[in-house]
Structures are given as structure tokens and as C-alpha cells.
Amino acid sequence: MAEIVYPLVITTARGLFKALDVRIDVRGAEHVPASGGAVLVSNHISYLDFLFVGYGALPAGRLTRFMAKKEVFAHPVSGPLMRAMRHIPVDRSAGAGAYGQAVARLRAGEVVGVFAEATISRSFTVEQIKNGAVRMAAEAEVPLIPVTLWGTQRMWTKGRPKRLTQRHIPVTIDIGEPLYPKPGQDTEELTAALRATMERRLDGVQRAYPGVADAAGAWWQPAHLGGAAPTPEQAAALDAAERESRRRR
């Protein structure tokens, strides 16, 4: 199937990044295979994260198919774009269909992007992660590649106003060495190991981020590094209140 929309979206995004002088630092791009299936599993701190995870796979010449909640596909603007780029809709009340579709894509040699926390982390730490990324990589027998993003939360994140026109924001895209889950391995053990890897890499990226020495008290800096972001406990309480509010509506 010819790719028409996806390349146009990439060109548009690159133009915007250039116009805003977004200072993107891609590390470890060589870990994305040039062919064959792979799962890119990333932390989630911004509504724009899919753009940057996808950007990290471009040096390998790969287009990433993201798993995203079905509501995004129902939107009159984002929906047609998501379908044209062949992303994968997820119905959280019945996720087996999306999981099966992702495994089929992986076996067909595609790259699938997963935000394993399933929601944006308000604390800017790695929250509890779902085991789906590990399971699908094991079932399809493809590499599982951890991706760490930092800086994207400064552009647009949950509970904060958009800052899409702010210039010179540094963004780090750190791509780690692949993991190779195999069928029959302990899924929960592998998921815990994946989360530990993501936490370790995120901490390293956060501490090496440009201007970190002057970020004490900043809203976009995590609490454990002296920032004003909610602690993981506070973030969990905010998320619970948001879910209850949605349920009542």
C-alpha cells in the first residue's frame, strides 16, 4: 500500500520543528532495525510524544504504527489522519482486537509504537506499565526497544496550557538497546525489568538535560529532582479524580 499521508505529516512536523528551532537530540537511532518487526515502547509525558518517537525511527527509514485509544480515531480531524497513517485503534474495554492487530503487523515486518503506561505521566516519572508491549514482542518474536523522551512535556502536557509556539525547547529522544522477549518467559518479570530499564534511562536523560542546573522549582521538572511537578502519589490522586469525573459525566 502506497504511503501518501504519513510522509506529508512527517514533512509538516519537520518544518514546524525547524521553524520553532526545537533542539532535538536523537541518541541510539542505530538500535532501530532497518527491516523486520520491532516494538518501540516509550515513556509518556506529552500529547506530542508520538511525533517524537516516530522521529527517532526515521534515521532507520521506518514508519511507526502507534497504538492509540479509539477516541482519537473518532475525532473529525485526527481520525482520518490516524487511519490514513495506519495506526492501531485501542478499545480499552476490549483490547484483544488491537493486540491481535499489532502482533499481525509485527509479524508482517512493521514497527509498532506503544506507550506502556497507557496515560500521560503527570509526575514525569515512569508509572506502572502494562505488559502488552512485552507480550506482543514475545509472541511475534521481535525486538522490544525502550525509548525515553524528555522535554516534550514543556510543549504540551496534561493539566498545563499548550506552549506550541515557544522556541528553542530542547527535546531528547533516547533509544536503548533492544530486549528480546521469548515465548514462555515470565511476562510480569520481563515487564518489571523493562520498567526498571525505562526508569534508569529516564533518570539519566533528565540529569543530562540542557539547563537542568537552573530548573529547580520548574513545573516541568520532577519532584525528586527539585521540580514542582506532582509526586507520583499526587499524580495518582489527580488521575483517579479525573477518572471519577469522567465516569460521572
The 10s digit of each residue's pLDDT in 14-30 is 999 999 999 999 999 99
Name residues whose C-beta falls within 8 Å of residue 224's C-beta, 6 or more positions apart in sequence: 125, 231
pLDDT at 1: 59
Residue with grid cell 506529552, as numbered in its chain: 46
Distances (CA, A) of 122 to 26, 116, 147, 222, 236: 23, 15, 18, 9, 8
pLDDT at res. 92: 79
> In the prediction, which pLDDT does 247 show?
87
Q: Per the structure block, which three cell numbers stand in for 192?
A: 518489571
- Coil, strand or helix at 107: helix
Successive 10-residue mean pLDDT values, the chain, 249 residues? 90 95 98 98 97 98 96 93 96 86 98 97 97 98 98 97 95 98 96 98 98 94 97 97 90
